[in-house]
Amino acid sequence: MDSYRNRAVVILSGGLDSTTCMALADCRGEDIFALTFAYNQRHIREIESARDVARHYGASHHIIDLGAVFAASALTSAAIRPEVAPFDGKAAHSIPATYVPARNILFLAHALSFAEKVGARRIYTGVNALDNPGYPDCRPEFIDAFQRMIDVGTKAGTEGRSVEVFTPLIQMNKADIIRLASELDAPLHLTLTCYYGESPACGECDSCRLRLEGFRLAGKEDPIHYRKG
Q: 91-103: per-residue pLDDT in tens?
A: 555 677 777 888 9
Which residue ranges make up each domain of the chain? 7-218
Nearest residue to 132 (alpha-carbon basis) of 221, 13, 52: 13
pLDDT at position 229 over 60: no
Task: Give the percent of the chain with pLDDT over 90.
Answer: 69
| Residue 12 marked ligand-binding | yes
Q: Compute the distance between CA of residue 217 and CA of residue 87 in angstroms, rounded to an integer.
A: 15
Pick the CATH number of 7-218 from 3.30.360.10, 3.40.50.620, 3.90.180.10, 3.40.50.261: 3.40.50.620
| Residue 194 marked ligand-binding | yes
- In the prediction, which pLDDT does 203 show? 94
| Residue 17 marked ligand-binding | yes
- In the prediction, which pLDDT does 11 show? 99
Reported as a single tens digit per residue, the pLDDT across 151-170 is: 999 999 999 999 999 999 99
| Residue 15 marked ligand-binding | yes
- Structure confidence at residue 90 as a pLDDT band (50, 70, 90): low
| Residue 16 marked ligand-binding | yes
pLDDT at position 214 over 50: yes
| Residue 205 marked ligand-binding | yes
| Residue 27 marked ligand-binding | no
- In the prediction, which pLDDT does 76 show? 46
| Residue 202 marked ligand-binding | yes
Q: According to the per-residue pLDDT averaged within each range, which of 37-46, 130-139, 198-207 is highest?
A: 198-207
Buried/exposed 85-117: b ≥16 CB within 10 Å, e otherwise: eeeeeebeeeebebbbeebbebbbebbbebbbe
| Residue 138 marked ligand-binding | no
